[in-house]
Amino acid sequence: MDLGLTDRVYVLTGASRGLGFATAQCLVADGARVVLSARDADAVAAAAQRLGGPERAVGLTADLADAQTPERLVAVAREHFGRLDGALVSVGGPPPGSAASVTDEQWRRSFETVFLGTVRMVRTVAEHLAG
């Protein structure tokens, strides 16, 4: 089935492994190109290589909690592939533990990443898609 994704370009966060990487694999298999990100530079580089290298996938080492990450990802998509068609926002959740055992600082860090990071990412990508 042709999903019409050939040469479309997507940015993905939390995509060096897990759900984000699996989604990147599906997009590339359908002909799309991807910009993927996570915090560990070696894992990002390895994931981009597994997806086919610079023709198909480029990696950016970036923390979703960083306010600059959305604009950086959009810029790489535009500079490397010349367009942007959408995004997948995935990220690791809070550390495993009960509500009682997770500290205030861990909750704050998770809020910065999972909530604010996602809101910023979606807002930035939506602005660029609208143009």
Ligand X SMILES: NC(=O)c1ccc[n+]([C@@H]2O[C@H](COP(=O)([O-])OP(=O)(O)OC[C@H]3O[C@@H](n4cnc5c(N)ncnc54)[C@H](OP(=O)(O)O)[C@@H]3O)[C@@H](O)[C@H]2O)c1
- Give contact residues for ligand X (rule: CB under 6 A): 13-20, 38-40, 43, 63-65, 90-93, 113
Which residue's beta carbon is nearest to the bound ligand X? 18
Q: Compute the C-alpha angle 10/117/71, nearest 5°.
A: 50
Q: How far is CA 85 from CA 33, 35, 44, 95, 103, in A?
A: 10, 11, 21, 32, 38
CB 21 → ligand X: shortest distance, Å?
Answer: 7
CB 86 → ligand X: shortest distance, Å?
Answer: 18
Distance CA 3, CA 62 (A): 29
CB 61 → ligand X: shortest distance, Å?
Answer: 8
Nearest residue (CB) to ligand X, 19 versus 129: 19
